[in-house]
Amino acid sequence: MRSHYCGQLDETLVDQTVTLCGWVHRRRDHGGVIFLDMRDRDGIAQVVVDPDTADAFATADRARSEFVLRISGRVRLRPEGTQNPKMPTGMVEVLAKEVEVLNTAATPPFQLDEHGKVGEDVRLKYRYIDLRRPEMIEKLRLRSRISHHVRAFLEGQGFLDIETPILTRATPEGARDYLVPSRTHPGSFFALPQSPQLFKQLLMVSGFDRYYQIAKCFRDEDLRADRQPEFTQIDIEASFVEEEDIMGIAESMIRGLFQDVLNVELPAFPRMTWAEAMHRYGSDKPDLRIPLTLVDVDDLMQQVDFKVFSGPASAADGRVAALKVAGGASMSRKVIDDYTKFVGIYGAKGLAWIKVNERAKGLEGLQSPIVKFMENVVEELLDRVGAQDGDIVFFGADKASVVNEALGALRVKLGEDLNLYTSDWAPLWVVDFPMFEADDKGALSPLHHPFTSPSCSPEELKADPAAALSRAYDMVLNGTELGGGSIRIHDQQMQSTVLEILGIGEEEAREKFGFLLDALHYGAPPHGGLAFGLDRLVMLMSGARTIREVIAFPKTQSASCPMTEAPGEVSLEQLRELNIRLRQKAKAEGQE
């Protein structure tokens, strides 16, 4: 139907006749001449309809925003002074000969360039219209280029694209499962995969050696900011590999991707242990674009006569850390109060601070509600954080986990608020994760997943599980975890030990993933892999603010879709077929 996309028009086509198909982006009536901005996925072209072409003019005259038109005409240079160098097609226009309405359109619920005036729920309800916006098209186009690059790279490295089931059993990645009732097995349920983890491991047992998949994953997580119940992973697994192999492949994939798609040469990927990341940045995904670091001051604070500080400084699970912000002494009381509220979100009970007005004046030169409690150590403290005149030093004192979270988040917020970024891209690998984390009651759960190999023998693991490190690695970019993975357990005895430590009894293990345990008996090779979050990768590369912006049809933060109204009710008939009776419905109908 068309000869060119609207966005393709340029000076090389002058005097040629073209046929465009698309939507009326804007229609302007200029003293008897009608201007139509025609839009398709490639861009916008200006079409001029003259009254001389009477039929075309009459049709253009009744065209409205978002009508679907087919237009033929001659490309010509725009008259001097009306050119628009900001538009890719801004040097030319089409003088229409024929205008055909392929379809009319009701008045859209919002003008594309006024999408900011409506709430996201309206945009999601009419997503098909929202997706007409050039910025949205751009993001999805970038997404397509990214997955194309990833596929080409991995295929080139000998990885095979193999699909794994969507209707399956629970996969233990730490979230709640989405369940699907089975009609043919009354009372039984499939689970949607939280990731293809177990299947990719089984493919290694089969000998496929190198697997990848751009896979949908499903996790019914509590509403945390910027998560989607279904999301996409670039999932990778390989056999006869060690950490270096997987990290090497992953790093060259991402490096090439940035080069190819964004023309960005990423800097080196430093390696940081998990312990160091927590210590210096309060986070296992530090944003290294921000130069601020947390500095330990436990030893000093043990010497002060102020329980709020000396308590956590002396406690085994406590921590007192300082965060110096150069030039921060000019912060107003209101700004400090706002930061105090901010750290409160992370459980901090307060935010102590010292403003360094003039160090040469000693205590006189400091301004702080707490300095009177720590006169004996203040000089050493300021030396340690390298405080100079004009700086502010913040303090966190609590359980180490609270201090890390609160000061870690404050560090990122300060970086953002004060625009402290020292580079555009800061990638790194975080390695040497602990094998397990303990909850308040001391129960252990895997930091990655229960199939991750520890760095020690089963005996050592058993002797001190809390101290064991794992062979896991995470790739972090600008404070976002892009991907993570590990070398897996391929040895039955090691797997049993880990499950035992996790308190997963033999029976439960057999019932949940007996098939994997069986497979380990039948010649499982050493193997490992990782998975990238594709949505987050596209978000970072496109500069989008949320992952919803880079997913064509995302769910809301309450895990529903305003457009399809999913999840929706089903008929009693369907429920009966599935052998399901709903508690509330049954009650309402007096069946229970």
Residues in contact with ligand ASP by CB under 6 A are: 173, 195, 197, 484-486, 529-531
Q: Annotated binding site for ATP: which residue ranges?
A: 219-221, 228, 481, 533-536
Q: Which amino acid is at 110?
A: F
CB of 310 to ligand ASP, least distance (A): 40
CB of 445 to ligand ASP, least distance (A): 14
Distance CA 77, CA 83 (A): 8
Residues 151, 152, 158: CA angle, nearest 5 degrees: 90
Residue with the shortest CB distance to ligand ASP: 195
CB of 224 to ligand ASP, least distance (A): 15
Distance CA 202, CA 366 (A): 63
Distance CA 352, CA 332 (A): 14
- In contact, 128 and 179? CB cutoff 8 Å: no
Q: Which is nearer to ligand ASP, 324 or 488 (CB)?
A: 488
Distance CA 319, CA 403 (A): 7
Q: Which is nearer to ligand ASP, 99 or 502 (CB)?
A: 502
Q: Annotated binding site: which residue ranges?
A: 173, 219-221, 228, 448, 481, 488, 533-536
Distance CA 592, CA 589 (A): 8
Phi-psi label, residue 479: left if phi above 0, alpha if psi -120 to 50, beta otherwise? left
CB of 472 to ligand ASP, least distance (A): 8
CA-based nearest residue to 135, from 32, 43, 255:
43
Q: Which is nearer to ligand ASP, 42 or 235 (CB)?
A: 235
Distance CA 112, CA 110 (A): 6
Q: Which is nearer to ligand ASP, 427 or 484 (CB)?
A: 484
- In contact, 405 and 282? CB cutoff 8 Å: yes
Q: Annotated binding site for L-aspartate: which residue ranges?
A: 173, 219, 448, 488
CA-based nearest residue to 126, from 565, 562, 548:
562
Distance CA 510, CA 290 (A): 47
Q: Which is nearer to ligand ASP, 231 or 346 (CB)?
A: 231
CB of 452 to ligand ASP, least distance (A): 7
In eight-state DSSP terms, residue 444 is E
Q: Which is nearer to ligand ASP, 190 or 473 (CB)?
A: 473
Counting Cβ atoms within 10 Å, is residue 22 exposed (0-12), middle (13-18) or buried (19+)?
A: buried
Distance CA 470, CA 447 (A): 9
| CA atoms within a 13 Å half-sphere pointing along the CA-CB vector of 296 | 13
Query: Bridge-partner residues for 429, per DSSP?
Result: 271, 475
CB of 479 to ligand ASP, least distance (A): 18
Q: Which is nearer to ligand ASP, 128 or 515 (CB)?
A: 515
Q: Which is nearer to ligand ASP, 437 or 506 (CB)?
A: 437
